[in-house]
Amino acid sequence: MKIVYNNILPVKGFTAMNLFGIIFARNEYKPLARRIQNHEAIHTVQMKEMLYIFFISGIWWSGWLNSFVMVGMLTKISHLKERLIHISMTTLI
């Protein structure tokens, strides 16, 4: 894990911040405590997990979209199916 020391990021009042797996720490906290490095490493793992979840859900949604387009757009949506069933009703519910 790469640690960059500077006076810009993070802003005053914070010790360190994690952007895309790179830790930015203020110069006055050099060397960065092991506890803070571990804390920021946990955030890196969380970011990777969320990327994987986003990727997998993207695959699922693309499969759904494909079946939505291939089978017929308006017949796949449940509330529109219900509308087609009750279209002949003349009174409001």
Number of folded domains in the chain?
1
* pLDDT exceeds cutoff 90 at 65: no
pTM: 0.59
Q: How confident is the model at residue 58, as a pLDDT?
A: 82
CB atoms within 10 A of CB 23: 24
Domain range for 53 is 2-92
Write down the residue that tokens 């911040």 correspond to: 17
Rounded-to-integer distance, Cα 13 and Cα 27, Å: 13
**Residues 40-56: tens digit of each pLDDT:** 999 999 999 988 888 88
